[in-house]
Amino acid sequence: MKFLTTSALALCIAAPALAGTDKAAVVETYANIAQAGYEDSLSTAKALKDAVAALIAAPSEDTLAGAREAWLAARNPYQQTEVFRFGNPIVDEWEGKVNAWPLDEGLIDYVDESYGGASDENPFAASNVIANPTLELAGQEVDATLITPELIADTLNEADGIETNVARGYHAIEFLLWGQDLNGTEPGAGERPYTDYVVGDECTGGNCDRRAAYLTSVTQLLVSDLEEMAANWAEDGAAREEVSANADAGIVAMLTGMGSLSYGEQAGERMRLGLMLNDPEEEHDCFSDNTHNSHFYDGKGIQNVYLGSYTRVDGSTVEGPSLSDLVSETSPELDAEMKGKLDATMTALGAIKTAAEEEGFAYDQMLEAGNEKGEALIMGGVNGLIDQTRTIERIVTTLELDNLEFEGSDSLDNPNAVFQ
């Protein structure tokens, strides 16, 4: 341990002289990738909005399929931006508006009997706003006669401070396009019929006009939320400025995002927990059965940040000086280790994607209790993510940036504060 401390001291003093790759340029690449990722998320969300408008105007098998395809296309660029969440407070505070999960979908629309009703944790788990123009939420009478973006954003979302009251974002839209996946751990996604949007006698599921209003409003909200975040990363945008204010802190933010998404969020919350609960609702994109892509592009986003390269939805590439360049200057071995582990994770996540897309082995089937093949596939991804986190920590130490903890630690700024 003595070695660690003294070498850290030496580097603290010598660090400015060592740098060859410009840290500020590395952070700029990062911000450029974020900007491009949110712009792509925005353009594909606008395409989704158009597809939803087409569905509402003329509900049919085709227009519903078109809206679903547009949703799937919109997910891929967005998932690659998840790596910007941790380490960038502006993104983290906003993220719940677009990608909150899991949700008690019974708040929004009809659900199957097996869903159950209100729960200990959430008395509004089955409030069904679409069927109820007036309802009571947390002791307040709510007028939901008109379903508007404001009603969804200000009243319904996180009603009564309960996180699973997710009324907006990708997963609310996903539910309205696919409906509940009632196949359990058997094959198949949600099977909402297009007639849920037909106004008049053919309407199924009741209140088709209100359902259409909800879907239109919630898609509009997604577009405006993404406009906000794309602007935050544009030139002079708040998130870009914050992460660029200091190059060292910017590098720490990059590594924090990579490590926190890899370990606590993706390996832990999203993959391993779902597997251990054997619950098909514990898959991230549970209505559409798109979880294999959602995990794959999360992992891809982590790799993008390290390599300083992002392939846009139009096929063009955004790239520049990278973390990889920076690390290889100090330690080529460590850079090779990081690249190898990111590759290994992508191979493991790719195997899940291939199984789902080419072998018809969907993610929810992998979650089935006692399904060894599914468990091996998912744990392959989990183990890769955990393993790469160790190397990310190693990079933090090697670059002498051992100050990963952003929040809640006053003691290092002001040691005396603890004993006052």
Check residue 415 for interaction with another protein (CB under 8 A): yes
Hey, which residues between 157 and 196 contact another protein (CB under 8 A)? 160-161, 163-164
Cα dihedral sign, 170-76-60-58: positive
Report the SS3 class of residue 111.
coil
Q: Report DSSP state, residue 280.
A: G
Helix (H) or strand (E) holding 137: strand 134-137
Identified binder of another protein from the candidate list 119, 148, 244, 354, rule CB under 8 A: 119
Listed residue (311, 341, 307, 342) closest to 324, CA to CA: 307
Identify the bridge partners of residue 398 per DSSP, sorted by sequence position.
Answer: none
Identified binder of another protein from the candidate list 2, 154, 235, 315, rule CB under 8 A: 2
Cβ nearer to another protein, comparing 59 with 87: 87
Q: 312-348 burial string, b = 16+ CB within 10 Å, else e? A: bbeeeebebbbbbbbbbebeeebbebbbebbebbbeb
221: exposed, middle or buried (Cβ count in 10 Å: 0-12, 13-18, 19+): buried
Identified binder of another protein from the candidate list 14, 57, 58, 276, rule CB under 8 A: 276
Cβ nearer to another protein, comparing 49 with 341: 341
User: Least separation, in Å, of the C-beta of 87 and another protein?
Assistant: 10
User: Least separation, in Å, of the C-beta of 64 and another protein?
Assistant: 29
Site string for another protein, 361-400 (x = CB under 8 A): --------xx---------------x--xx-xxx-xx---
Check residue 411 for interaction with another protein (CB under 8 A): yes
Residue 277 CA to residue 244 CA, distance in Å, equals 41
Cβ nearer to another protein, comparing 59 with 301: 301
| Angle 265-271-276 from CA coordinates, rounded to 5° | 120
Check residue 20 for interaction with another protein (CB under 8 A): no
| Residues at the interface with another protein (CB under 8 A) | 1-6, 8-9, 12-13, 86, 102, 104, 116, 119-121, 160-161, 163-164, 245-246, 248-249, 252, 259-260, 262-266, 268-270, 272-273, 276-279, 369-370, 386, 389-390, 392-394, 396-397, 401-406, 408-413, 415, 417-419
